Structure 1
Amino acid sequence: MSTVQNPKEKRSFKVPQSLPEGVHRRKLEKIRNTLSHNAGIKKSYRKTLKQMGLEPISNTHGQIKLSEHENNQESNSLERTERRPKVSKFNREQHVAKEVQESREQAQKERTRREHERKLKIEERIRNRKKMTQYTRHGQPKLGKRVELLLDKIKNQ
């Protein structure tokens, strides 16, 4: 007799042996582990239902339907444990980039302000030096201008 298998019959998930070690193989192993873990959970759930004296109702996909009472309890528990919305990597990177840009702009403003102050001080020094080096026709220093500078220095201190 020939053994004809039903095409809809479920088989276990197998990782091909010929795959080299790498991302694809690890992904398939992760899927296999997840499927076996979920199957164990379903098995233990059916077992507890059987111990409680309830019959698990299966739908066409092999998944267990919950009774209305259990369904309401599950939805209530889901409502209570709301999670914070996940911040995507793009939004995080965008936020970091925005902070960096703001810090750069602030540093640029500070740099231009310091440069402006420096230019003003240099101009004032040049003006003061010109006043201190002024002389009359006969080569005598103009003391009136020098006295003004000295008085300004005293007032500023």
Structure 2
Amino acid sequence: MAMRDIRVTGDPVLRTVCDPITEIDDRVRTLVEGLLETVDHEGRAGLAANQIGVGLRAFSWNIDGEVGYILNPEIVERSSDLQELGDEGCLSVPGLWYPCERPSYSKAVGTDLDGAEVVIEGEEIWARLINHEVDHLDGKLYLDRLARDVRKRAMRELRESLEG
């Protein structure tokens, strides 16, 4: 399978809540293959299914040399304390990075293609990844989480980038 095209801001699939995966079939296997192939490139930390046009609850990651995936992830734990504002970016909002608050720790539980439990958890980049990708599956972009003044600037810069 080849690397899949990334859907960008403005595509309605990015604003649609993804459906749970209820059956592991060839479509889901192909989705996982596409997620893993597409995320396994330098500069890519995570990729949600809807970012490649599939409205199912799955995402992949590529952090510190570890590439993996999770089906039907649910965030089961997150800290109430926030990590210091760090710039966040998104493959679906190319070239634009803004400070976005995220929990300093998060834990998600889901399954793999064989139905075995998958647990991903961590601080800093792992916490950011988990929340960012689950937001995608819920039809949200990180731009929705920006402070009001930053969001206003981000939307202006996004419009300018799409026009140019």
TM range (shorter): under 0.3
Q: Which has the higher contact order (CA 8 A, sep 6+)?
A: 2
Of Structure 1 and Structure 2, which has the larger fraction of its residues in helix?
1
Q: Rg larger in 1 or in 2?
A: 1
Of Structure 1 and Structure 2, which has the larger fraction of its residues in strand?
2
